Chains A and B, each alone.
Chain A
């Protein structure tokens, strides 16, 4: 595949791995957070950690939309489609298996008779609304700045067509606000030790690299925006190490083939037209963050499912002893969680991080669990040998 294979080249990857090993000072650690779930997925799918020296550690951030959605919001969707038989709820596939309160997912609600449909885009939902004028079609809008402009376009399209039976349950969230929240932890919280960020790829195409300036100016943390291919990730790691070695904290762009300083201004304009910032929004793992999410503006109120169906948010607790919150903040690794790979697996997820391909737990489990298991097996063998010798 042209323009893809070039970024997965084995020889170049090994050369970059070598350069990283040479650049990394042996007397310190480099703790780098990839914010985006897309990066987490790429890191594990291609085995990037195998090319890094032991003192360069990747910490997995909260950039997985499904993972950060609080259970209470999912419960709202389940209630909406269960209590209103006229509603067809359209959702991206990822969201369907996420367990809500009492383990009730949208997939289970569907099995119980609710009309939940998996769609690939908001256009599919519009199509359903046109085909079923007698029903109420609600699109479960979720995601960072990447999926937000299409949702906005969907609402504008519905308005232009005069579609009266289409609305959006809006759960779109904002990346910079979450990065700020990770760095600005409260006094009673465990601080996240992050030396720098591998910045989002597709999100940055929309919002531009300038949107991360606060990381450098307020928190003195470098950011390197990186593409989703393995060579992109490796090169951005090298760029971060170089900045850290030089004591710099700048916003650099490795993904120059797609990201500009100001981003996609047309996409930003339609987002501004249709949405407005919510004063505050709850994030799974990060808690309430001010001005971190979008709601539908008054001018488009009739497309707002929350207002249309009088939906009410109610806080809901997650599974007991599920470490998703700490994992989403980068304080714990998936393997630190007691439930990981025991009672929580991709086939039976208890926490949201185990559901989406972009979730840290799912990526660890699917692609990388041999690391932990191999270490455990080795330790067990050592202990057994020790026991035999002592015996």
Chain B
């Protein structure tokens, strides 16, 4: 596909001339921004297209057109309704890119293209929207993916919560990789890519009624480069990968145990958990194993390859604290258990009910 530089430059220039039409400092979303008329076209041109800037999007068609490679592809979608919208370490925009990139990466795939759907509430500040869109663009650039098509809808005041974002994505799976939630086998090792619970605790620290001072940042990040390093180290040794978002490590491991028909035994003393997270969980009566992460993965890998995989992970930006935290066992009951630090044993269960509203 030919990328028309001149056309793009002219468009960019025209956009700049029209920029005053969109008051990004004090303006607010109104119903016309979703009505399909000139105001909506301006919003798309001046905000979304400028930020996401890539040839597939810039064609301006109703769909993105791209070639497909031979082999296997993965596809996923996720909606983001997080509150608060801005938090230490990111915002709903970066989260919306990281979340979908990670869902693709957990299939061992190289993420390629994302879509972005916005549901905006009447009255939402354009300055906030610009910050969110910029964060999406930056996150996409870091992950090496393009946001190639999108959609904008505006709902009346009171019928949304500022902004909801949906992203969908496609990626390409390398040949040597064959992952599946049913592939864990007794003897396999459980690897976690870093400290757990950071995102959930960072969000909770901002919640009304809970507010506590912490310098902790969300771990929200794209994991595809980490996954690429793992695949390069030993792709065939990887049984499955999951990112433990809502429900935390506990929910993810219980899903794996159920789908693979195995038990899992964790070592409490091996779990990487930041002091701040432990302290906050202690205070709030939460278990870090139930708290959400947005930039961590759990991998189940063949035992003989686990050490080398962890070493490879530690050499990448999102994997410095990677560790082997447990192993897969034969267990008809499909329970996740944990050897406690004092030498006892307990079940690590799914979260019952709701820990806190809307974490991701």
Residue numbers of A with Cβ under 8 A of B are 1, 4, 8-10, 13-14, 17, 44-51, 97, 119-120, 124, 230-231, 234, 345-347, 357, 362, 365-370, 373-374, 377
Q: CB-CB < 8 A to A367: which residues of B?
A: 346-347, 349
CB distance from A372 to the nearest CB of B (A): 11
Secondary structure class of chain A's binding surface, majority of residues: helix
Q: CB-CB < 8 A to B337: which residues of A?
A: 370
Q: Give 10 A-B contacts (CB < 8 Å), ordered by A residue.
A: A1-B278, A1-B279, A10-B342, A49-B344, A119-B209, A367-B347, A367-B349, A369-B347, A373-B335, A377-B333
B275 at interface by CB-CB < 8 Å:
yes
Q: Which single residue of chain B is at the shortest CB-CB distance from A367?
A: B346
CB distance from B205 to the nearest CB of A (A): 14
Secondary structure class of chain B's binding surface, majority of residues: loop
A369 vs B336: C-alpha distance in the bound complex, in angstroms? Answer: 11
Given contacts A51-B343, A367-B349, A368-B346, could you give 14 more A-B pairs where the C-beta distance is less than 8 Å? A1-B279, A4-B282, A8-B342, A17-B343, A45-B340, A46-B341, A47-B340, A47-B345, A48-B342, A230-B340, A345-B352, A365-B349, A367-B347, A368-B347
**Total B residues in contact with A, Cβ cutoff 8 Å:** 24
Contact A366 B332 (CB under 8 A): no
Contact A46 B340 (CB under 8 A): yes
A1 vs B276: C-alpha distance in the bound complex, in angstroms? Answer: 9
Contact A14 B346 (CB under 8 A): no
Q: CB-CB < 8 A to A369: which residues of B?
A: 347
Contact A50 B353 (CB under 8 A): no
Residue numbers of B with Cβ under 8 A of A are 209-210, 269, 275, 278-279, 282, 285, 332-333, 335, 337, 339-347, 349, 352-353
Contact A357 B285 (CB under 8 A): yes
Q: CB-CB < 8 A to B275: which residues of A?
A: 1
Q: CB-CB < 8 A to B346: which residues of A?
A: 44-47, 367-368
4 closest Cβ contacts across the A-B interface? A47-B344, A13-B342, A346-B352, A50-B344
- Given the known A-B contacts A119-B209, A373-B333, A377-B333, are A46 and B342 also in contact in the complex, defined by CB atoms under 8 Å? yes
Q: Which single residue of chain A is at the shortest CB-CB distance from B346?
A: A367
Q: CB-CB < 8 A to A51: which residues of B?
A: 342-344
- Given the known A-B contacts A346-B353, A366-B349, A368-B347, are A120 and B210 also in contact in the complex, defined by CB atoms under 8 Å? yes
Contact A370 B347 (CB under 8 A): yes
Which of the listed residues B209, B333, B349, B352 has the most CB atoms from chain A within 10 Å of its own CB?
Answer: B352
